[in-house]
Amino acid sequence: MTHWVRTRKLPLFDDAGHMAGVVGICEDITREHAADERLRLTNRILERSREALMITNPEGVIVEVNEAFTRTTGFARTEAIGKTPRILSSGRHGPEFYRALWSSIHESGQWQGEIWNRRRSGDLYLEQLTITAVRDEAGALQHYVALFSDITELKAQQEQLARVTHHDPLTGLPNRLLLTSRLVQAMDSAGHTGRRLALVYLDLDGFARFNDTYGNRAGDDLLVRISEALRACIEADETLARIGGDEFALLLHGAEDEAGLTERLARLQAAARCAIDIDGVQEESSGSLGVACYPQPTPVAAEQLLRQAEHALYQAKVAGRQRVHFFDVAQEDTQRQRHRMLTELRLALMQGEFVLHYQPRVNMRSGALLGVEALLRRQHPERGLVPPGEFLPYIEDSLLAVDIGDWVLRAALRQANEWKSAGLAVSVSVNLSAIQLQQPDFIAYLQGCLRTHPGLGPGDLELEIVESSAVDDIAAVSRLVAEADKLGVGFALDDFGTGYSSLTYLRRLPARTLKIDRSFVLDMLHDPEDLSIVQGILGLARAFSRRVVAEGVETREHGHALLALGVEEAQGFAIARPMPAAAIPGWILDWRPYAEWATTGTQ
């Protein structure tokens, strides 16, 4: 090991004060030398360090700084030494901040964190700072050493990165990604606290048109203004996000207060109303809202809740401008059920499970058979015969209704043809659903079906359509009814009396027959109102020269009462229940009307 030695020569003096000689003293200063070396090394490192260094004495007066300090703060070494670190103070942090900082130093000897300071130039900068209290071996405070680096830019880059991945650049609002992560958290805490949250989708009405008319700049301005108005409607712990072009989403708390929620939704709608003046043209924006609440009776995930709110919004938009629609959990279950039923019934159609039963329509007085109504049933492999009321409602408006309707029409025509060939002339009535009539070229389709049975002539087929669906698109239906009439196919307005039954509609609809809904017939015996409805329908029919058929003749008394009013044509259990085609010839042979009916109303 190398030893460092310091030698000194000391003069020796005699008693008289004369120099008598010299002694050499040799000291081993290895340790001292090492300490010096360390100090020089430390100095060099600190001098070169990119981290700024500032050392103060226990009183807080700066005693040393390095080059990086000068580079960072702009203060030269000579300017800094003798001052206190207050020359760097930004004024951005309150006394509370500094108290916490010092108490940490006193307790643990160190503080670490981010702090805003001010350069000599006046610019603010953010630094990552470590302050250490340096004590000697005896524990006495000697210095405070502060090491720091400027992280202003780094921070800005980080924030920029977070902003672009989590925020919408136009409005600065959180985007869908950030909304989703906040939603996950909020749903989690709602699970613990039992509080309810509402996820609200807001979409501007007619924004695409606005953009097209006035340009993207005006569109962007509008979005920014509305985003600011919406921001004013939410609490600090709530989220407003922009999730698409003109779509915003809000995550609101406290939805258990229904009245409060309603009021807040109204405020959001008000915020979406923005008066705009573009080159003198006045426009006002408006928004539609879709709302999904959480928790729900069955567990849902965040993505699902987002879809629900979106779905509710879609329904609000379908209903018109400025609507609010709540996602309906029960309704969704119905939809799921509907979906299952559609699949099941499609399969049933393919496997030939549908059958037609026929119910005779007669003249009650003469007993003559006027026709039969084809009524659909499903021959279920386990449940047996299923009436149409249990499955038709699920398929209304679907293409399956068109396909099943097609099967019904062809099967009924085949049956009518069979009867006719066997010398049995019965007209067959077939029920149509509205969607069948809405198919393009319905008349051509009908003609095609008729052509497959050239033996059938005018009057062998009648079509029935429910009154209420006929008036939904009265112009189109009127045209179809008139064209079918030319082919020799008459129309009957089914369930008449349950729809509009107005003069205006009836005048426009050239249907030959009105079928009085069975509910009025059934109740007319004891309900004067139903009786007067029946009388009213008869009046209408007479005025427009339409035939009338009464449905629901369940008893002799019903027939009697109808005949007294002048109604002769009827269907009902008192005459016959719907039956398989094979039972019809036998029924014709057996059937006799009540003797009393032959005379009622004729005296």
b vs e for 378-400, b when ≥16 Cβ sit within 10 Å of the residue's Cβ?
beeeeeeebebeebbebbeebeb
Residue 579 φ then ψ, to 5°? -145, 165
334-342: long-range pairs with CB below 8 Å, 24+: 337/394, 338/394, 341/391, 341/394, 341/395, 342/394, 342/395, 342/398, 342/400
573 makes contact, choosing from ligand C2E, Ca ion, none, with CB < 5 to 8 Å by partner type, with: ligand C2E
Binding ligand C2E by CB under 6 A: which of 494, 530, 568, 569?
Answer: 494
Q: Which is nearer to ligand C2E, 90 or 468 (CB)?
A: 468
Task: Verify binding: residue 387, ligand C2E, rule CB under 6 A.
Answer: yes
Rounded least distance, CB 365 to ligand C2E, Å: 18
Assigned token pair, 214: 């006035």
Which one of ligand C2E, Ca ion, none interacts with residue 568, CB within 5 to 8 A by kind? none
CB count in 10 Å sphere of residue 503: 11
Nearer Cβ to ligand C2E (287/578) = 578
Among 139, 381, 389, 423, binds ligand C2E (CB under 6 A): 389
**Alpha carbons 115 and 462: distance in angstroms, whole number:** 88
Helices (H), 326-454: 329-350, 392-395, 399-421, 434-437, 442-451
- Is residue 552 a contact residue for ligand C2E (CB under 6 A)? yes
Position 415 contacts Ca ion (CB under 5 A): no
CA atoms within 13 A on the CB side of 421: 9
**Candidate segments 267-275, 352-360, 424-432, 445-453, binder of Ca ion by CB under 5 A:** 424-432
| Contact call for residue 568 and Ca ion (CB under 5 A) | no
Looking from the CA of 19 toward its CB, the CA atoms found within 13 Å total 6
* Binding characters for Ca ion, 526-565, by CB under 5 A (x = yes): -------------------------x--------------
| Residue from 272, 408, 514, 516 in contact with ligand C2E (CB under 6 A) | 408
Q: Binding pattern to ligand C2E, positions 418-447, x when CB under 6 A?
A: -------------xxx--------------
Whether the bond between 297 and the residue before it is cis, its omega within 30 degrees of 0, is no
Which span sits near ligand C2E by CB under 6 A: 96-104, 340-348, 539-547, 571-579? 571-579
CA distance 456 to 39: 117
d(CA 241, CA 254) in angstroms, rounded, equals 18
Does position 518 interact with ligand C2E (CB under 6 A)? The reply is yes
Rule CB under 5 A: which of 487-506 touch Ca ion? 494-495
Site string for ligand C2E, 295-334 (x = CB under 6 A): ----------------------------------------
Instruction: Rule CB under 5 A: say whether 467 interacts with Ca ion.
Output: no
Q: Are 446 and 487 in contact (CB under 8 A)?
A: yes
Stretch that binds ligand C2E, among 29-37, 159-167, 539-547, 569-577 (CB under 6 A): 569-577
Q: Which is nearer to Ca ion, 127 or 464 (CB)?
A: 464
CB of 507 to ligand C2E, least distance (A): 24
Task: Report the amino acid identity of residue 346.
Answer: R
Q: Examine residue 376 and tell whether it contacts ligand C2E (CB under 6 A).
A: yes
Asked if 554 is part of the footprint of ligand C2E (rule: CB under 6 A), the reply reads yes
Contact 573, 537 (CB under 8 A): no
Could you please report the per-residue DSSP string of 510-525?
A: --SEEEE-HHHHHHTT
Report what 239 binds from ligand C2E, Ca ion, none; CB cut-off 5-8 Å by kind. Answer: none
d(C-alpha 295, C-alpha 305), whole Å = 10
Does 469 participate in binding Ca ion (rule CB under 5 A)? no
Return the residue matching tokens 């009388």.
535
Q: How far is the CB of 432 from Ca ion (least distance, A)?
A: 9
Question: Contact with ligand C2E (CB under 6 A): which of 445, 505, 573, 587?
Answer: 573
At 331, phi and psi to the nearest 5? -65, -35
Q: CA 527, 528, 533, 534 torsion: positive or negative?
A: positive
Contacts with ligand C2E in 167-206 (CB under 6 A)?
A: none
CA distances from 177 to 17, 96, 243, 526, 529 (A): 95, 35, 9, 65, 61
Cα end-to-end distance, the chain, whole Å: 146
> Half-sphere exposure of residue 374, counting CA atoms within 13 Å on the CB side?
28
119 contacts: CB under 8 Å, gap ≥ 6: 72, 73, 74, 125
259, 266 contact by CB (below 8 A): no
Which listed residue (219, 287, 490, 578) binds ligand C2E by CB under 6 A? 578
At closest approach, how far in Å is the CB of 361 from ligand C2E? 10
| 431 lies in the binding site for Ca ion (CB under 5 A) | yes
Could you say which of Ca ion, ligand C2E, none residue 269 binds, taking C-beta under 5 to 8 angstroms by partner kind? Answer: none
Residues that bind Ca ion (CB under 5 A): 431, 464, 494-495, 551
Residues that bind ligand C2E (CB under 6 A): 359, 375-376, 387-389, 392, 405, 408, 431-433, 464, 494-495, 518, 551-554, 571-573, 578
